[in-house]
Amino acid sequence: MGTIAVLGAGKIGEALLSGLLQGGRDAGELLFTERHPERSAELTGRYGVRAVEVAEAAEAADVLVVAVKPQDIEPVLTELAPLVGPSSLVVSLCAGLPTALYERRLPEGTPVVRVMPNTPMVVNEAMSAISPGKYATADHLKVVEEMLACVGKVVEVPETHQDAVTALSGSGPAYFFFLVEAMIDAGILLGLPRAVAEQLIVQSAVGAAKMLAEGTEHPVILRENVTSPAGTTINAIRELEKHGVRAALLAAIEAARDRSVQLGKAHEQD
Ligand SMILES: NC(=O)c1ccc[n+]([C@@H]2O[C@H](COP(=O)([O-])OP(=O)(O)OC[C@H]3O[C@@H](n4cnc5c(N)ncnc54)[C@H](OP(=O)(O)O)[C@@H]3O)[C@@H](O)[C@H]2O)c1
């Protein structure tokens, strides 16, 4: 895999550096770029990874991982353009940005792989979906897959599915956090101390996630197994259906997909 440079070590960039180190990568094989010297010093202190300028990153790294916010991509592309080419590998973690944008702005033949990761990367439980750009080969994909396998699970999807992936697993952890927050509030409503409500819900979420991840039963069966005739759960399910929670989720994820499409369109004319 060689040296990996993370351009923009914010939440996701830091999670990747940390996951790669935990996965056995040497700090000497990792680099990052940042805008603020204090942030660079903080990260170097925490992980022993060196902060560099983009030029040094492009020179030294075999893989350049772009992890800035989509709205900050322009200056990064301008800086990268004279520094990369067909022998580089550019990996974009930016929501909504198509590989075609990079291919237009970087020298012809520069391989680009688009990735949609998510924040559970910080606990090595990321879900990342990868898609090759037009110059990325199976070998490039393998390099990216190996890198991301250090921090979670990886799936390959056609790039046309990336907006849907962004809405589902990119933003997905936020929906679970929102649900947990609301369920803790319900515990408060029922008179439980907050700490107890939190423990009950968080451990239930961990247990349910483990059962789902085992994959031996479909989620519908798992839910039915907790739903006894005339029991408590079916009364709760009736309220969830009455309040349109299923429809709300469909609409919410569709709205997230639309926003991802919009972020990509903002760069179509560049
Ligand atoms: N967070 C998520 O859940 C998530 C999930 C999937 C994908 N992503 C994608 O991951 C990317 C990063 O998201 P994030 O949440 O990690 O954002 P973030 O915390 O804001 O991190 C971006 C970092 O890049 C730095 N930066 C901006 N322009 C730079 C430049 N020209 N050179 C060097 N550093 C630069 C920023 O510095 P400043 O502080 O100065 O702005 C910031 O530290 C986004 O494109 C997002 O779509 C995020």
Domains along the sequence of the chain with CATH: 4-157 (3.40.50.720), 172-260 (1.10.3730.10)
Looking at the predicted structure, is the pLDDT value of residue 86 above 70? yes
User: Mean pLDDT across the stretch 195-208?
Assistant: 98
User: Mean pLDDT across the stretch 41-66?
Assistant: 96
User: Distance between CA atoms of 61 and 80, rounded to whole angstroms?
Assistant: 13
Residue 75 main-chain phi, psi, to 5 deg: -60, -30
Token readout for 228 is: 């006894």
Distance 72 CA to ligand 1 centre (A): 8
Write down the residue that tokens 């990735």 correspond to.
115
Distance 7 CA to ligand 1 centre (A): 9
What is the CA angle 13-17-20, rounded to 5?
135
- Counting ligand 1 atoms within 8 A of each CB, the residue from 53, 54, 72 with the most, and so the one to mutate, is 72
Closest approach atom of ligand 1 to CA 11: 16
* Ligand 1 pocket residues where CB is under 6 Å: 7-8, 10-13, 33-36, 67-70, 72, 75-76, 93-95, 116-119, 170
State how beta strands 4-7 and 112-116 pair: unpaired
User: Distance between CA atoms of 64 and 7, rounded to whole angstroms?
Assistant: 7
- Counting ligand 1 atoms within 8 A of each CB, the residue from 14, 16, 43, 69 with the most, and so the one to mutate, is 69
- Counting ligand 1 atoms within 8 A of each CB, the residue from 18, 32, 35 with the most, and so the one to mutate, is 35
User: Mean pLDDT across the stretch 99-117?
Assistant: 97
Q: Which uninterrupted H or E stretch holds 173?
A: helix 172-189
Q: How confident is the model at residue 268 (pLDDT cuts 50, 70, 90)?
A: low
Looking at the predicted structure, is the pLDDT value of residue 269 above 90? no
pLDDT computed for residue 265 by the predictor: 82
Distance 216 CA to ligand 1 centre (A): 37
pLDDT computed for residue 23 by the predictor: 86
Instruction: Describe the crossing of helices 245-265 and 232-242 by its angle, rounded to 10 degrees.
Output: 50
Considering the chain, what percentage of its residues have pLDDT values greater than 90? 91
DSSP at 15: H
Distance 226 CA to ligand 1 centre (A): 41
pTM of the full structure: 0.93
State how beta strands 112-116 and 90-92 pair: parallel
User: Distance between CA atoms of 139 and 125, rounded to whole angstroms?
Assistant: 24
